[in-house]
Structure 1
Amino acid sequence: MTRVLQVSAELFPLLKTGGLADVAGALPAALAAAGAEPRLLVPGFPAIRDALSQECAVAPVALPWSEGRAALLRGRLPGFDMPVYVLDAPGLFDRPGNPYADAAGIAYADNHRRFALLGLAAARLAEGVDGAWRPQVVHAHDWHAGLACAHIAASRSRRRTDARTVFTIHNLAYQGLFPADHFSDLGLPPPHYAVEGVEFYGQLSFMKAGLHFADAITTVSPSYAKEIQTPEQGCGLDGLLRHRADVLHGILNGVDYGVWSPAQDDAIAARYGAGDVSGKAACKAALQRECGLAVTPDAPLFGIVSRLTEQKGLPLVLEALDDLIDAGGQLVILGAGDARLEAEFAAAATRHPTQVARRTGMDEGLAHRIYAGSDVVLVPSRFEPCGLTQLYGLSYGALPLVHRVGGLADTVVDCSLEDLAAGTATGFVFNAFTADAYRRALRRAFALWSRQDYWAAVRATAMRQCFGWDAAAKRYVDIYEALSQR
């Protein structure tokens, strides 16, 4: 049974800004069921510290700079059946805002210190500072944990540990880039600042640290694993990824159906399932009332739950919004982000108050109600490493309308004639990232809606899809075991 330390900056349900938290929250239990012995390491953000119980001090963590203090604590968090390590550093983590930025959305100037220390703490655990448990594999998630791989490589060179590392890319576009003159704060040996290290075009890259130093690399869908090896989606790191292709694995994220199932969801107006979808109509009417839309069962309701960024393809939605409105559709948007996109969706809601509703921020309960009440979930992303939104849509019978890219391509089957005939269609897929291609997919959605017998059949197929964590966890455990035997 391989001892594995999962390192992440977020953890659902305690701290979430996006899909990383959902993965970090669901994967440990799946790994345990697949035969690993996982534990977690997370920063001591206020929500984490407030929830920690049975805590005990493990060891201090020496800071690479002069001021401040930090220590590793071990304890329990609600919902997790294994011990959790918390990096307690109040001067770094006890702040308002989200994990990365202040309440105004401005990134903290010392983020390089905050997440370098997270990597350093992972290395200390790999070196055995907790005499009761020592990981054989450290699994670092996204750029925030990328320096764990670099620090453990340095520890191995000093013969302080023989732990191996796995690094998972959740989104290559967010790389953790910092000025080179911050290198002395990272606690790494000077030779690590090199092209064969953390240097990236004259800057520091935490993402590159993970990619270069990890013993195995994973990303969150098979298609994305191929796409990031191309100049178009490699974000300047495609050469390194092609060089390391022999240790790069595309493993599709899963869904925690204990959280994301309409058959057992307490946040929605009525429960329902693939065998009896009658409750979905009640959920739709309740969502329409909650959002101030016309309570019209015959109007197809489109939902968006997303960060409002260009990457998510939302300019396509705005460009074709009149098409959706003129065809009799309704739209609910939940999210925040780019000020221009926020303003344009707000203006659309003002112009069409009975057909367009906009809600800001991250409201977990409303997100569930949008999936339950929507007929279609829009995920027209320019690129999408995996995407969980479309998987939640499938579970709740909100047919995904997606761009054929990354995990969206791996999980949604278009309503083509042959797939309708075969009973495999689950949504609407467009190939080219253009407004015209998106419009054609939108028209296919309205055409299917006009044939409710076909719609019901596709919805039933969608809801029968299963993207649980079992298969992914088994693949991770196979990687851990192979590394721990080296």
Structure 2
Amino acid sequence: MNILAVSPEAGNWKHTSPLATAVNRMTDAFASSGVKVLTCSPLYKSLMVDLESYHCIYTGVEKLQGKSYEIYVSDKDPLHTYIYNEEFFDRPDVYGPPDEIPYSDNHLRFAFLASAALAYAEATEFKCQAIMGHEWGGALVGALSRTTYAGYAGEIPFFFNIHNITYDFHVASSEIEKIGLSRENYNMDGYEFWGKVSLLKAGILYATKVLFPSPGYRDAMLNTNLPGGLSGFLNRNADKLIGVQFGVSYQVWDFNDQDCLPIKEAKRRAKHALQEKLGQNLDQKLVMYVHLDSEAGNTSETLATVLSDIARLDIFIIVGISSKDPDWDYYKNFSNQYPTVMAIHDLEDDTVDSNIVLRDMLAGSDLLFAANLREPSSSIILKAMAAGTIPLTGRTVGVATMLTDYGLETAGEANAFLVDDANAPDQMLRRTKDTENVFKTEVADWDKCVVNAYSGFHYEWCRTVSKYLLILGELGI
């Protein structure tokens, strides 16, 4: 099977984004399963690792805007194809300067990306059975396959991956023809959004299936009152929407992969190593890790509300947070005042491998405190479980719908502690107290939870891709 994939972010960047990481791992998993994937993304020369290893293998002219494009590949990066055009991609940022107004021509830039990818696939006679677009930056490949490139791709199914529905790009209706859309679909049931064009809605409209990064996220999007009337549009297209859990790379996140020790012994060693690093006696304490990155949602607000209560428990808290975060000073001051209760780690520390540091902190911890996460796939929960660390989160948070909550009747199968509303501080506090109680008094139950989390719930990217392929198979592809 051959698949053409188009993403605004992918490949070997100096600083890989969550989107690029997901697309990269998906591409790797497809290749491992025997699928040939032509993954096309822009070439940003200032962002690439080993730029000198890339060379141009093809030049052409795409049909939509009549602009030239160059195709770059690297022997060190054989699974990715890069599209370059100096006008559109010789820029320091992907979408625009951080925290500033996005580039005003983003719709033209990513329409060009989609057009050039289709043009290259057609010119090289790439016989694909499916086309996949990632996020709004890859959404227009679906529309163009039905319009400008209908002769080549008009009958090929289009699968639209929405990694995070909060990201979109809106343009004036005067730009419709410039980006290859059919004006007849400019209405509330199509891609119109408050008098403008929504590239996200365009991707959904032209998709055969829309893929979300977890079943829980898909359900939440259908049952949440999203702004601008998007909820109604999603529900009208509900039969297209599928939630497929994104995986994680266990060769990165499984701290016990090399030693293959019994998980109880591996956790004991990891906790001792963390204790040495922090200079704290953690042997009898429940160690709770809280990851406050850009995808943490309201976790920080929830933690701050109940922090004084948690501090009275026999719990040691580790907070991973950026020194640029507005809440940094609050947690820094708290840790300075109560060093036997809390330690913080600066996520901006670029002197270390951030993945390794996070993996080791999770491995040395007993509990992940993850309140109302913004991250659709909730990969931090999977990373914690790969470290034998039990998640405390909400029932509706991404992957949590696939987890088993601890209780008297589920003690043997449980791998998590769940609450109905992870945005409710009282519920998170009450469940935190429950975890401390089980950790202290129900040792056998706790150990079983750790085993269930670590070895009973492996969700590799190959599982994600196998479900994708099953969906394709059900459609007769």
Same fold (TM over 0.5): yes
Q: Which residue in the other structure is 1:232 paired with? A: 225
Q: 2:302 aligns with which of 285, 304, 316?
A: 316
Matched AA of 2:110: F
Gaps of 5+ in 1: 265-270
Q: 1:303 to 1:273 in 2, by over 3 A?
A: farther
Q: 1:119 to 1:430 in 2, by over 3 A?
A: same
Q: 1:121 aligns with which of 106, 116, 119?
A: 116
How far is 1:167 from its partner? 0.5
Does the aligned pair in 2 maintain the 1:262–1:372 contact within 8 Å?
Answer: yes
1:298-319 C-alpha deviation (Å, 9 max, x unpaired): 2222223342467353211111
Q: 1:334 to 1:73 in 2, by over 3 A?
A: same
1:149-186 C-alpha deviation (Å, 9 max, x unpaired): 22222235566654321011222122234555665763
Q: Which residue in the other structure is 2:417 paired with? A: 428
How far is 1:94 from its partner? 4.5
Q: 1:382 to 1:369 in 2, by over 3 A?
A: closer
Q: 1:376 to 1:121 in 2, by over 3 A?
A: farther
Helix, strand or coil for the counterpart of 2:139? helix
Does the aligned pair in 1 maintain the 2:30–2:36 contact within 8 Å?
Answer: yes
Work out the percentage of aligned pairs sharing the same amino acid: 22
Matched AA of 1:88: Y
Matched AA of 1:330: F
| TM-score where L is the length of structure 1 | 0.84
2:169 matches 1:176: yes
Q: 1:13 to 1:158 in 2, by over 3 A?
A: closer
Helix, strand or coil for the counterpart of 1:332? strand
Helix, strand or coil for the counterpart of 1:320? helix
Q: 1:337 to 1:33 in 2, by over 3 A?
A: same
Q: 1:275 aligns with which of 227, 238, 262?
A: 262
Root-mean-square deviation (CA), in Å?
A: 3.3
Does the aligned pair in 2 maintain the 1:293–1:353 contact within 8 Å?
Answer: no
Q: 1:160 to 1:369 in 2, by over 3 A?
A: closer
Q: 2:404 aligns with which of 404, 410, 413?
A: 413
2:468 matches 1:476: yes
How far is 1:429 from its partner? 0.6
Q: How does 1:35-184 map to 2 (within 5 A)?
A: 35-45=34-44, 46-48=46-48, 50=50, 53=53, 55-62=55-62, 70-78=69-77, 82-96=78-92, 99-102=94-97, 104-106=98-100, 108-110=102-104, 111-126=106-121, 128-131=122-125, 133-157=126-150, 161-178=154-171
Matched AA of 2:458: C
Q: 1:457 aligns with which of 435, 444, 448?
A: 448
Q: How does 1:249-328 map to 2 (within 5 A)?
A: 249-264=242-257, 273=260, 275-290=262-277, 292=278, 294-308=280-294, 311-328=297-314
Q: 1:445 aligns with which of 435, 448, 456?
A: 435
Matched AA of 2:70: A
CA distance in 2, matches of 1:481, 1:125: 26
How far is 1:293 from its partner? 5.7
Q: How does 1:333-352 map to 2 (within 5 A)?
A: 333-336=319-322, 339-352=325-338
Does the aligned pair in 1 maintain the 2:5–2:40 contact within 8 Å?
Answer: yes
How far is 1:231 from its partner? 3.9
1:392-445 C-alpha deviation (Å, 9 max, x unpaired): 11110111111111423223322211111xx11112111123111111111112
How far is 1:77 from its partner? 4.4
Does the aligned pair in 2 maintain the 1:212–1:240 contact within 8 Å?
Answer: no
Does the aligned pair in 1 maintain the 2:11–2:80 contact within 8 Å?
Answer: no
CA distance in 2, matches of 1:24, 1:278: 35
Gaps of 5+ in 2: none
Does the aligned pair in 1 maintain the 2:71–2:83 contact within 8 Å?
Answer: yes
Helix, strand or coil for the counterpart of 1:212? helix
Does the aligned pair in 2 maintain the 1:59–1:130 contact within 8 Å?
Answer: no
CA distance in 1, matches of 2:176, 2:333: 45
Q: 1:472 to 1:453 in 2, by over 3 A?
A: same
Does the aligned pair in 2 maintain the 1:119–1:148 contact within 8 Å?
Answer: yes
Q: Which residue in the other structure is 1:390 paired with? A: 381
Q: 1:442 to 1:338 in 2, by over 3 A?
A: farther
Relative to structure 2, which stretch is displaced further, 399-408 or 382-391? 382-391
Q: 1:289 to 1:112 in 2, by over 3 A?
A: farther
| TM-score where L is the length of structure 2 | 0.85
How far is 1:74 from its partner? 3.7
The count of aligned residue pairs is 467
Matched AA of 1:473: V
